[in-house]
Amino acid sequence: MSVYRCNHCKHIGEYPQQNEQTQAKCANCGHDVTAYDTVYFIKNILNRWAAAVRELNALQSQEQDNGLSADAEPKNSRHNPLDNIKLSDTDILANERQHKPLENWFRQKQIVPTFDYSAVDMSGYFDEAAEKIGTQFDVFKDILGKILQNAKLAEEGVAPICQDTGMTVVFVQIGQDVHIEGGYIEDAINEGIAEGYTEGYLRKSVVAEPLFERKNTTNNTPAVIHTRIVPGDKLKIKVAPKGFGSENKSVLKMLVPADGIEGVKKVFLEAVKYAGPNACPPLTIGVGIGGTMDKAALLAKEAAVRSVDSKNSDPRYAKLEDELLELACKTGVGPQGLGGDTTAVKVNVEWYPTHIAGLPIAININCHAARHADAEL
């Protein structure tokens, strides 16, 4: 749902669209209005209040500097400009009756925003400020804190970080000079997984057949194994247990070259919104671009288990990673889907050459756990 404020009659109303900006008609007077996504609308109203209060505080500070007040507050005081302000006392939002619902909304959500005043400009109704409202909600801080606490307890207690211990995905790189003796490598991998899940008392989540009987294999095998022959004499293995709350929200789309980078961003944004709270955000997201249908999906999977500290070696794609992360966080999904600007913590992009007529893109969604480990022999 979007919100608008009519500059002609001062009416505030809702509009049944959820784009950041949508042109509409005022329900009260019929004049043209711009309806804004609710989160965007609320954030910018807060910015406007803060800008006005900033001017007032600046005047008060000037008076104090001139010796007009004996109880002057230190100039460097970290004073929250919205403290002790009644939202209905400002005429920036028409009148009390019209913005009373917004006031109540703020109180219910317990919003306590902070602002970087160097970014505030008084030039327009929707001034830009460098605050991040999502991190100011106590409930969001609590959620993020619980996630970190859970990860620490899992590490210290050698216990699962999540009840969904996943279907095991294994990436194997075998040096072309390596010779494996004593059995088939995939059998060895599956034996190790079976042992780990049964002796480690991890939940077994794999069924032997996907459509009809769906009987549990009782040891979480078989794994999904991707094997690649590479130069050298080393054997590298990456193990990534993949939970299906997030896996089920992954997306594959066969675009055409004319869709370009905007088409890629559109598919990505749709995937993040589709995932919503069900993928247990904050997310780590892998994006695969190029190749064929199957190659794009594999690229996305590989990207999803890349280190969160890594960057694509191509500066163009590294920039795209940052842009996609910003888009994800602007959705307002937030930690565990309760709103805010920490919807994702990392977006990794991998690419591959493709056909002149195609632009495949795959989005692999990872929950906040994003478990994976590496070994080299």
User: Would you place residue 163 in the very low, low, confident or very high pLDDT band (cuts 50, 70, 90)?
Assistant: confident
Return phi, psi of residue 289, to 5°.
-130, 130
Give 122's pLDDT tier (boundaries 50, 70, 90).
Answer: very low
User: 97 near 90, Cβ under 8 Å?
Assistant: no
- Work out the average pLDDT over 179-195: 94
Q: Which residues of 158-191 are buried (b: 16+ CB within 10 A; e: fewer)?
A: eebbbebbbbbbbbbbbeeeeeeeeeebeeebbe
Chain center to CA of 133: 15
Q: Tokens standing for 12?
A: 């505030």
pLDDT, position 371: 86
Burial tier of 58 (Cβ tally within 10 Å: 0-12, 13-18, 19+): exposed
Write out pLDDT tens, residues 265-286: 999 999 999 999 899 999 999 9
Mean pLDDT highest for which of 4-8, 9-13, 24-28, 324-328?
A: 324-328
The single residue listed with the structure tokens 């019929």 is 30
Residues whose CB is less than 8 angstroms from the CB of residue 303 and which lie 6 or more positions away in sequence, other chains included:
286, 287, 288, 348, 349, 350, 364
Phi and psi torsions of 9, nearest 5°: -110, 0
Which residues lie across from 228 on neighbouring strands?
Answer: 173
Q: Is the pLDDT of residue 83 over 80?
A: no
The position carrying tokens 């960057």 is: 311
Q: Is residue 205 pLDDT above 60, yes or no?
A: yes
What domains can be seen in the chain, in order of their start residue? 2-131 (no CATH), 165-242 (no CATH), 244-371 (3.30.1330)
Over residues 366-375, the mean pLDDT reads: 88
Residue pair 57/49 in contact (Cβ under 8 Å)? The answer is: no
How large is the average pLDDT for residues 139-145?
67
Enter the tokens of residue 100: 């009373």
Looking at per-residue pLDDT, the higher value among 192 and 96 belongs to 192
Task: Show the tokens assigned to 38.
Answer: 């609710």
Rounded to an integer, the average pLDDT of 11-20 is 70
Q: What mean pLDDT is predicted for residues 48-57? A: 60
Q: Is the dihedral of CA 77, 81, 86, 89 positive or negative?
A: positive
Counted residue by residue, the chain has a size of: 377
Query: The tokens 């010796």 sit on which residue?
Result: 67
Round to whole Å and give the CA distance between 54 and 61: 10
- The pLDDT value given to residue 337: 82
- Rounded Cα distance between 192 and 220, Å, is 11
More confident residue, 160 or 73: 160
User: Does 134 score more than 50 pLDDT?
Assistant: no
Global pTM reads 0.63
Mean pLDDT computed over every residue of the chain: 79
Q: How far apart are CA 273 and CA 283, in angstroms?
A: 12
Average pLDDT over residues 47-61: 60
